[in-house]
A and B are shown apart, each in its own frame.
Chain A
Amino acid sequence: MARTAVSGRLIWRAATVAEARWESPTARTLVLDVPDWPGHLPGQHVDVRLTAEDGYSAQRSYSIASAWPEPGGKVELTVQRLDDGEVSPYLTDTVQVGDQVELRGPVGGWFVWRDKQPAPVLLLGGGSGVVPLMAMVRARALARTKQPFRLIYSVRTPEDLLYADELRRRVRDDAGLDVHYVYTRKTPDNWPSPPKRIDVAALNTYGWPPDFAPDCFVCGPTTFVETAADILVALGHDPRRIRTERFGGTS
């Protein structure tokens, strides 16, 4: 039976994996070809739906890692594998170039950065929570805007770092961008402090003072986001300038 389409309603469409590359031993970036992609803002995500032979299906959200416009019209996702997960191991280890997944997006209009926002930007990412923040860093470079950007990136071990080379290069080349790392399980050799979770001292030292009035974006596992956002508020940042996105799970 034919149904009338509700105008403007977002639908699922097929995306083809055009390319895939490892970002770390357990995280992979999928470069997707999505016909008629309308473009997106950094911070937005897509929903991915996988369907098994018997009709069983599972759906998860993934942030868009790439900035727009992209010359080839492609969209990138970076997926961190959770060993006991249902969907992420498929996206990191099973899906191959040429395969299709269903995708709905871009969605989410709140956890986004617009290059017209004049304020400095403080990004706090935990684990794969760095993905939408990386889209913001990339979008800033693409728009050639000058707002100071600072990323504080909490990660378990040096091996788990996503975008390590690119971040190093951008800190060198993108004026006004800097990055600080917090290692929670294992630090690089000769690191000045032992492994620790993000805390008041770290945000006090590396973050910006509240009177600098940065727009803050906090993203990652739910427990990371709650801790980091609470610290920002305790340090005196205006809660209205803090935007959060929870990925679920614990850090």
Chain B
Amino acid sequence: MTAPGDRAAALDGNAMAGDLREIFAVDVTSARFMCAGCTHTDAVATLMLWHQAPGLVARCPNCDDVVMRVVRAPDRVYLDLRGSVRLEVPLEGS
């Protein structure tokens, strides 16, 4: 029930890099997610990102389910990962 073009408002996971790098020591956008809804797996950078909202909402490019949510409060960041079954994080230099 979504029309083509409705995704034009969206960015992608690349745009989350700064907010995630402020909490993690590694770049999470190069990690692979597995979608809890459809088991699709790919780099976090390929998630569809809605940023014109009270937080960042990253959805699976395959099924549109929410995979990650990032909410920034003045003194903390909330990261909701329930839409991803796991994250596979590559370690530089290994």
Interface residues of chain A, those whose CB is within 8 Å of chain B, are 6-11, 45-47, 61, 104-105, 107-111, 222-223, 226, 243-250
Contacts and interface: CB of A to CB of B under 8 A. Distances in A.
Contact of B29 (A9, A110, A244, A249): A110
A182 B27 CA distance: 34
B14 A45 contact: yes
Given A109-B30, A110-B44, 6 more contacts: A9-B21, A9-B22, A61-B15, A109-B17, A110-B45, A246-B14
B21 A107 contact: yes
A107 to B, nearest CB: 4
Q: Place the interface of chain B in its size category.
A: 20 to 34
B17 to A, nearest CB: 4
A246 B12 contact: yes
B7 interface: yes
A243 B30 CA distance: 11
Given A9-B25, A108-B27, A249 B18 contact: no
B64 to A, nearest CB: 14
Contacts of A244: 12, 46
B8 interface: yes
A231 to B, nearest CB: 16
B70 interface: no
B29 A104 contact: no
A104 B22 contact: yes
B9 to A, nearest CB: 7
Contacts of B22: 9-11, 104
A248 B27 contact: no
B17 A107 contact: yes
18 contacts: A6-B23, A8-B25, A9-B22, A9-B23, A10-B18, A47-B18, A61-B14, A105-B18, A107-B29, A108-B45, A109-B29, A110-B13, A110-B29, A223-B5, A246-B11, A246-B15, A248-B10, A248-B11
